[in-house]
Amino acid sequence: MWILQALRDGDFLSLLMGLLVYALVIFVLLPVHEYAHAWAASRLGDRTAFQRGRLSFDPMRHVDPMGALCLVLFGFGWAKPVPVNPFYFKNRKTGMALTALAGPVSNLLMALLGAFLYNVLALVLPYGDYWLAVYYFFWYFITINISLAVFNLLPVPPLDGSRIFAAVLPDRWNDFLNRYERYIFPIMAVLLFSGILDGVLSVMNDWAFALVTGVASLPFRLFGL
């Protein structure tokens, strides 16, 4: 585990930075992601998440203790799933897809905001040792949000991507995925821990990073800043 390795190496700066990054994910980014699901479902007619107190930015309403622990120890975790009742949607498939899409979109919007603020900082703050921590914070903020969005868009149950693709897949394929979801996800976890998916995820993250930072810097380039 990375924590034990950092302690053995005496690298307390890396340990502190790592814990701060995971705290950011657990108490800020994941709650926003889950709030986006609840908000989308509510707007589309399903008030289940609202009635259960999930239409909130309060991290305690979203954090899953075991998921948070796994995230810190292994870099792979989860929050409490937002309850959704598709029978309240006018179109069940479309409603589920839009509700699922809201989570990754919220991460991409946060990454876009972070990249925009990064460009603003580059205009007003010197890039030196004194302000380096601020630049690192925004870099981590951007990259983590992009990673969360890309990962959740994978079309594998129970990730958001599976709900999105379900809107265009035949019912028999959706039935198959739902039936074997409890087997598919552990296989996915093994592939992640083994590093087999690292190459694919890295390429997807690079593309998303280039797109987000390119859009965020466009106003500055247009005005020659």
Catalytic residue positions, numbered: 34
The two three-digit tokens of residue 91, written as one number: 């179109």
What CA–CA distance (Å, rounded) separates 81 from 181? 15
CA angle 65, 68, 69 (to 5 degrees): 85
Helix or strand or coil: residue 76?
coil
Q: Are 57 and 64 in contact (CB under 8 A)?
A: no
**Nearest of 173, 189, 200 to residue 70 by alpha carbon:** 189
What CA–CA distance (Å, rounded) separates 40 from 198? 31
Tell me which DSSP letter residue 88 carries.
G
